[in-house]
Structure 1
Amino acid sequence: MALNTSNDFLLSVLEGLVDGILLVSPNGELMFANSAATQLCQKLNPKEHYPIEVWRSCEALIESREWYGDRPLVIESELQIEDHQTYRIRVQWLQLDEPCLLVRLEDQQRSLQSLAVTEAKKFGLTPREAEVWFLKRCNLSRKEIAARLFITIDTVKKHLGNIQSKRQAHQESWC
């Protein structure tokens, strides 16, 4: 099943997204992959179009039609690779000329980094506080943050205290 040119607008939108986007036919044929998905799939499984974990999520959605019919449903799973990087896989039905599976591959670290940058601006964090905040958002311990940034644990505690004060001040200004 190939996508026709009437979907050019949709394809250009999908290409512009930060997340990896795959369109997969119900029989497993790859119909489209944006550049983010292509890079990610090459990193995860260079021998295949996409990792087997993606197809397992697709199969779960296909099988769910027996129980849920055509109700909107999103299947989510996570894929963790050896460098402790986590990717979220989300699959849902998309009706184009024929039904296909829309697969979103989200790099959790990139998403957290984007969120941390947004919050750093919103709370008025210094560049160093922003670094500490990003690592905290990645669930690193104070000790791990200190080691990663070559600072003491007490310095990490001080930065986290400053961040908490700035977050509270921001929340109070909205009340």
Structure 2
Amino acid sequence: MTPDVALQNRQLMGKLVVIAVAMLGFGFAMVPMYRQICDALGITQTRVVASGNTQVDASRDVTVELLASNAGLPWKFDSLERSVKLHPGELVTVRYRVQNTLGRDITAHAVMNTAPAVAARYLLKQECFCFTNQTVAAGETREMPVVFRVSPDAPKDLDVISLSYTFFEVKASGA
């Protein structure tokens, strides 16, 4: 091998190492960047608030529509109320019901969505079945509460919020 070829090989190796390190760094940087983008857009945001004294804005009402859907799961899932009217800052409890109609236990996780998307940052949940995986035995029916409030800081024109939960089956690890 000539000295020129050896030099070119070392330069190429150096460039490839720099590219590999840059790609690795970018991969690690994606996690906080993704969180910042989701926080800014209000997507998949889970905010748990401590119970405390909050001011209720009795001068206006917000209607929260309650929706439920399955992602191909063979069970029944719905909200017990179709909607709830509340004042911003008022603590509300709503209930959802799930019934496993399959002949085996199912573990699933609920994902929340709101419409409009900006509403997610003003929906403050204290208790929700979406915080953890839910294992529902074959034939079991369960009621699950969601305790939340709409922040008094919500925009005045945000008077209707659609709160939707979708259950996705969690595959067993190693399967």
Same fold by TM-score greater than 0.5 = no
TM-score by length of 2: 0.21
Structure 1 length-normalised TM:
0.21
Larger radius of gyration: 2
Q: Which has the higher strand share?
A: 2
Relative contact order, CA 8 A, sep 6+: which one is greater? 2
Which of the two has greater helix per residue? 1
